[in-house]
Amino acid sequence: EDQVTQSPEALRLQEGESSSLNCSYTVSGLRGLFWYRQDPGKGPEFLFTLYSAGEEKEKERLKATLTKKESFLHITAPKPEDSATYLCAPLNDYKLSFGAGTTVTVRA
Amino acid sequence: SQTIHQWPATLVQPVGSPLSLECTVEGTSNPNLYWYRQAAGRGLQLLFYSVGIGQISSEVPQNLSASRPQDRQFILSSKKLLLSDSGFYLCAWGQGPGANVLTFGAGSRLTVL
């Protein structure tokens, strides 16, 4: 059975304090690893797709990396507007298996 | 451009009452459509997906059903709601084989009392 574990569950950062979120997964037939951002009460918004180990993607202050068993989302010098829940989702053939997410709060 | 609409945004229903949540997609044809449920502190759980009109796959046995009467319409239903059906329901669409990138609707918050 596919398993996705995200850690930590919650992360409180000071503005400018860089940190990393972890997504570990056990998925057979991995076709890709997706990262989404979700604001309270809203649907998730797509951030990145990673397809192979060693791949990296960047968007503003976010950088996602992928290994064979894990993915990391690095937040560099975060701002309060980066506060959100970040979800990772490995893709196995036809479906995404979402983790529970890491809720990031950035204080000014 | 493609857009996805989901309604109602919020509803409160008594136990045993029926449910109908609707989702429509504009600006694309033959999308893959999905219903997810998100419980507090838990990941999104895939409930149903559809690759075409009348084609529904269920991921978990439950009190819910889904239908796709038109190419870009996806409906989530229940005949009798349970307390455990409470949650945040999300419709999503994707294009092509597999899930590819999913675009989510704004969600429907269901509270069963």
Quick: pLDDT tens for A61-99.
Answer: 999 999 989 999 999 999 999 999 999 999 887 678 899
Q: Which residue has the tokens 């992928």?
A: A66
Quick: pLDDT tens for B39-97.
Answer: 877 789 989 999 899 999 988 767 899 999 999 999 999 999 999 999 999 999 988 66
pLDDT score for B56:
92
Q: Grade residue B1 by pLDDT with cuts at 50, 70 and 90.
A: confident
Rounded mean pLDDT, A33-37: 95
Separation CA A32–CA A97 (nearest Å) = 11
Separation CA A61–CA A15 (nearest Å) = 12
Distance from CA of B38 to the nearest CA of A (A): 9
Give the mutation candidate from B46, B101, B109, B110 for the A interface (greatest A CB count, under 10 A). Answer: B101
pLDDT score for B25:
96
Please give the single-letter amino acid code of residue B109. Answer: R
A31 touches chain B (CB under 8 A): yes
Please report residues of B whose CB lies closer than 8 A to that of A43: 6, 90, 92, 104-107
pLDDT score for A87:
96
Collect all residues with Cβ–Cβ distance below 8 Å to A105 and sequence separation of at least 6: A10, A11, A12, A13, A83
Name the token pair of B97. 């084989």
pLDDT score for A72:
98
